[in-house]
Amino acid sequence: MIKSRGSDGRSLVTFVLDPGVEAVRASVCGEWDGWATEAHPMERAAGGGFQLTVELPAGRSYRFRYLLDGERWENDWAADAYVPNGFGGEDSLVDLTALAEGVPAVTGATKATRSAGAKAASKKASATKASTTAKSAGKAAKDPSKAAKKSTKKAP
């Protein structure tokens, strides 16, 4: 299942079924459509499974299940959670609460600070690597026999 932030407080959820379900038809049914069995038929994916993207209001969780071949109910193997239903089983849960929260704006100053920090970290890593290489070369120059012994050791 893939979740992304849509527009106007909505979310896009791509429901994905593995080919291992061995079905000819599949539908995703849930609270958002009153569990209608034919409202959201899934499309056959290239790998043999099924997929369908549904737009849902963000800010809450939804129960759902897959109906396979019009007679077999299955849960999503990648659901956010599972909750008991009134039929002695469980329903899958997709949680869209985090997608309703505001995304902090990135200002120009923040971008510049992040870029400068990343550049400094990169320079420091390069300097550390160069220093380590120089130290190793210096040790080998002081005692060439140790360098030769290291290079001829066999792996355990």
Q: Can you give the chain as a three-state secondary structure string?
A: CEEEECCCCEEEEEEEECHHHCCCCEEEEEHHHCCCCCCCECEECCCCCEEEEEEEECCCEEEEEEEECCCEEECCCCCCEEEECCCCCEEEEEECCHHHCCCCCCCHHHHHHHHHHHHHHHHHHHHHHHHHHHHHHHHHHHCHHHHHHHHHCCCC
Question: Containing domain of residue 72, as a range?
Answer: 2-100
Q: Which CATH number characterizes residue 85's domain?
A: 2.60.40.10
Residue 136 in any domain: the answer is no
Q: Is the pLDDT of residue 104 over 80?
A: no
Residue 113 in any domain: the answer is no
Report which listed range, 75-79, 110-114, 122-126, is most confident.
75-79
Residue 81 in any domain: the answer is yes
Whole-number mean pLDDT of the chain? 77
Number of domains making up the chain: 1
User: Higher-confidence residue: 88 or 155?
Assistant: 88
